[in-house]
Amino acid sequence: MPTEFISLTFPNASTEVNPIAGAGIDPEYLVRYARNLDDYDFNYTLVPYDSSSYDPFTIGATIAAATKKLKIIIALRPNTLYPTVAAKALATLDQLSSGRAVVHFIAGGSDAEQAKEGDFLPKDQRYARLEEYIRILRRAWQSPEPFDWDGKFYQFKQFANRVRPANGVAIPVSVGGSSEEAYRIGGALADIFGLWGEPLKETKEQIDRIYQAAAQAGRPNSDRPRIWVTFRPIIAETDELAWQRAYRTLDILKANQARNSGGGNPSSDGKAVPVQPPTPQNVGSQRLLEIASRGDVHDRALWYPTVTATNARGASTALVGSYQTVVDSILDYVALGAELISIRGYDNLNDAIDYGRFILPKVRSALQERKSREPDSS
Ligand SMILES: Cc1cc2nc3c(=O)[nH]c(=O)nc-3n(C[C@H](O)[C@H](O)[C@H](O)COP(=O)(O)O)c2cc1C
């Protein structure tokens, strides 16, 4: 399988370093961003999920209508949609986009975040529910007959689905997370497994655990989940310029963190007082923070201060350097077995265009060149 690239969808011009307070959906921006991804040969865009944010399905349908090749990854928390409804919604998007829908499952990393939408299951149960949910979706996409379901989390009778995926079989299923439950369920059931960028050694350990779980579930090596790894590259023409940019970005992230954690309680000199943020409950973020405590730079260019500055909120490890340094770093992960590389920056649209001009073609041509040197490539 070729190496593929993923970006993230943004509904407006607001960014982490330049937030626009109260920004709503900017349809023109959304379409422009998506079309740039399509034109610069990104393969996928992830439409993320957050309890306080926009509906990924309508955003995804808008992107599908504005693009030709880009695949749309819908982030989905099982607690937010009954599985039969999700099966039809995903298949509808898949047909509308001629087979470009993918679903990325999130068991839910935070009890407080889940409670906001009425989900009070503990995390291990949320993963057990996810397992049942994926099995229902696959059955709903394929079953020629109406079927009953009598599971632990869902029960229904005689569900008959006329809305099939474009290929008549299934939509690719992705699972993300770094806990043992994530490895077990993703290893057993996922087509794609999503990770956040960690150093090469730790990434290799995670990939091995996912493959082990796949083998334990009886999957042959030819049917293991494809590995997706996410980074936040900060690039420039030279390493020196990229590092200058990285430190400027970090200063802004730190100032935002201090402002947000100060909670509007300025000290006597008027400055926001940073409060130590609580340790995140999801293992993926805990791992990032632990690695950050061991050093700022790992391997060639993997940079962790952006993790600490955001308390590992989502994908937050940067890759800092010249175009070539970042290309070489990505190639290191491809050599480990990563087939999907997710890259998004801090200046969302401009960074996506820069990656499209300076990173994607170089990675692809380096891989092509390597392939042509393999003895059996003819
Ligand atoms: C590539 C990737 C994308 C993710 N996207 C989202 C998202 O859109 N919304 C969300 O709430 N969590 C997202 N997550 C977070 C995890 O899925 C979540 O924290 C997980 O349910 C529990 O993590 P754990 O198994 O590491 O404890 C994403 C994770 C990864 C690796």
**% of residues, the chain, pLDDT over 90:** 91
Q: Is 53 strand, coil or helix? A: coil
By most ligand atoms within 8 Å of CB, the mutation choice from 10, 51, 106 for ligand 1 is: 106
Of the listed ranges 27-36, 128-137, 281-290, 366-375, the least confidently predicted one is 366-375
Average pLDDT over residues 249-257: 93
Q: Is 272 in the pocket of ligand 1 (CB under 6 A)?
A: no
Residue 63's nearest CA partner among 136, 24, 7 is: 7
Pocket test for ligand 1, best of 282, 287, 311 (most atoms within 8 A of CB): 282
Residue/partner pairs of 143-147 with CB below 8 Å, 24 or more apart: none
For residue 269, what pLDDT band results from cuts at 50, 70 and 90?
low
Strand partners, 175: 105, 193
For the chain, domains (ranges, CATH) are 4-232+318-373 (3.20.20.30)
The reported pLDDT for the residue numbered 1 is 80
Q: Which residue's CA is the closest to the ligand 1 atom numbered 5?
A: 48
Per-residue pLDDT band for 257 (boundaries 50, 70, 90) equals confident
Computed from CA positions of residues 281, 287, 292, 294, in that sequence, does the dihedral angle turn out positive or negative?
Answer: positive
pLDDT of residue 261: 74
User: Cβ(6)–Cβ(34) under 8 Å?
Assistant: no
Residue nearest to atom 22 of ligand 1 (CA): 109
pLDDT score, position 277: 84
Q: What is the pLDDT of residue 274?
A: 57
Query: What is the percent of the chain with per-residue pLDDT over 70, rounded to a whole number?
Result: 96
As beta bridge partners, residue 44 has 6, 71
The reply to whether ligand 1 has any atom less than 6 angstroms from the CB of 56 is no
Q: State the pTM of this model.
A: 0.95
Question: In angstroms, what is the span from residue 325 Cα to ligand 1's centroid?
Answer: 28
For residue 208, what are its two tokens?
A: 């091995």
Range 282-299 average pLDDT = 96
* Ligand 1 pocket check for 192: Cβ under 6 Å: no
- Kindly state if the Cβ of 182 falls inside 6 Å of ligand 1: yes
In short, whether 178's Cβ falls inside 6 Å of ligand 1 is yes
Ligand 1 geometric centre to CA of 277 (Å):
19
**Which single residue is written with the structure tokens 């090749």?**
69
Residue 227 DSSP SS3: strand
Cα 158 from Cα 229, distance rounded (Å): 39
User: What was the pLDDT predicted at 375?
Assistant: 80
**Ligand 1 binding pocket includes 176 (Cβ within 6 Å):** yes
C-alpha dihedral, 214 to 50 to 36 to 88, nearest 10°:
60
Residue of minimum CA distance from atom 30 in ligand 1: 176
| Span 191-248, pLDDT tens digits | 999 999 999 999 999 999 999 999 999 999 999 999 999 999 999 999 999 999 999 9
3-state secondary structure at position 150? strand
| Closest CA to ligand 1's atom 28 | 176
Decide: 75 in ligand 1 pocket, CB within 6 A. yes
pLDDT at 378 over 60: no
Q: Model confidence over 133-184: pLDDT tens digits?
A: 999 999 999 999 999 999 999 999 999 999 999 999 999 999 999 999 999 9
| Closest atom, ligand 1, to C-alpha of 46 | 8
pLDDT band at residue 259 under the 50/70/90 scheme = confident
- In short, whether 197's Cβ falls inside 6 Å of ligand 1 is no
Where are the alpha helices (H) located in 67-148, listed in sequence order? Answer: 83-96, 111-115, 123-142
Closest listed residue to residue 4, CA positions, set 328, 319, 230:
230
Q: From ligand 1's centre to the CA of 157, what distance in Å?
A: 31
Name 105's Cβ contacts closer than 8 Å, sequence gap at least 6.
76, 77, 78, 130, 133, 134, 173, 174, 175, 176, 190
Mean per-residue pLDDT, 89-116: 98
Looking at every residue in the chain, the average pLDDT score rounds to 95
**Does position 38 have pLDDT exceeding 90, yes or no?**
yes
Ligand 1 atom closest to Cα of residue 228? 1
Q: Which is it for the CA torsion 70, 62, 318, 325, positive or negative?
A: positive
Confidence (pLDDT) at 246: 98
Predicted pLDDT of residue 260: 79
Print the SS3 string covering 307-346.
Answer: HHHCCCCCCCCEEEEEHHHHHHHHHHHHHHCEEEEEECCC
pLDDT higher than 80, residue 111: yes
| Separation between Cα atoms, residue 93 and residue 54, nearest integer Å | 16
Nearest Cα neighbor of 86 from 23, 144, 135 is 135
Across the range 311-335, mean pLDDT stands at 97
Long-range Cβ pairs for the range 23-26 (8 Å, 24+): 25/54, 25/59
Is the CB of 106 inside a 6 Å radius of any atom of ligand 1?
yes
DSSP letters for 153-217:
S-EEEEE------TTSS---EEEE--SHHHHHHHHHH-SEEEEE---HHHHHHHHHHHHHHHHHT
How many angstroms separate the alpha carbon of residue 176 from the centre of ligand 1?
A: 5
- Nearest protein CA to atom 27 of ligand 1, as residue: 282
Q: Is the pLDDT of residue 268 over 60?
A: no
Centre of ligand 1 from the C-alpha of residue 108, in Å:
7
Which structure tokens are listed for 39? 């034109």
Per-residue confidence (pLDDT) for residue 342, from 0 to 100:
98
Rounded mean pLDDT, 313-324: 96
Asked whether 109 and 284 are in contact (CB, 8 A), the reply is yes
- Quick one: pLDDT at residue 159? 98
pLDDT at 264: 46
